[in-house]
Amino acid sequence: MKIRFYPKLKAKGQDCYTLYMRITIAGKRTDLSLNYELTRHLWDDRTQCLKGRHKDTGYVINLTNLYRQRAQEIYQSLINRGDECDVNTIRQKIKGEDTTAQHGYTLISLLDRTIARKNSLIGPNNTLATIYKYKRKSHLLTPSSSYQVNPVTTSLFGKISADK
């Protein structure tokens, strides 16, 4: 797997570029925007970083390292599990568009499950005030919210039954 960062022209006639990450595996490649805008003369292709002592140099270094590390972790986990490892799968996982999520829970469904569980456990450890707190937070999410929650995050909501 090869990872490279480069600026891509945002619109013709402007000197505004967007920073992209290119992932290449077995000759197949995909590009992923890092949503960072810069001018072309600030970018050094050899070091894949901003030139000189620009105020955002530290930010860009951290940003590129974060994306590079995330792509390498995903790549390694796919290889370790014996799953098909292609650039589109890695891209989807980095962007959070993974359609093969283990649980498929949305944030609103997790809050609904937590409220239902707390309602059934009203007692010394779960007061009515605790349940109201969860209900107040759940109104901030709309029913159309479809935030996928990864399995690590679900531990924040306690044990969740396997049935949906």
Structure confidence by residue, pLDDT tens digits, 64-99: 999 999 999 999 998 898 888 889 888 888 887 765
pTM, two decimal places: 0.58
What is the rounded CA–CA span in Å between residue 154 and residue 142?
19
Q: How many domains does the chain have?
A: 2
Determine, yes or no, domain membership for 72: yes
Same domain as 85, residue 123: no
What is the rounded CA–CA span in Å between residue 17 and residue 6?
9
Q: What is the mean pLDDT of residues 43-59?
A: 85
**Cβ neighbours of 92 (radius 10 Å):** 16
Domain hosting residue 142, numbered range:
107-157
Residue for token pair 């810069």: 38
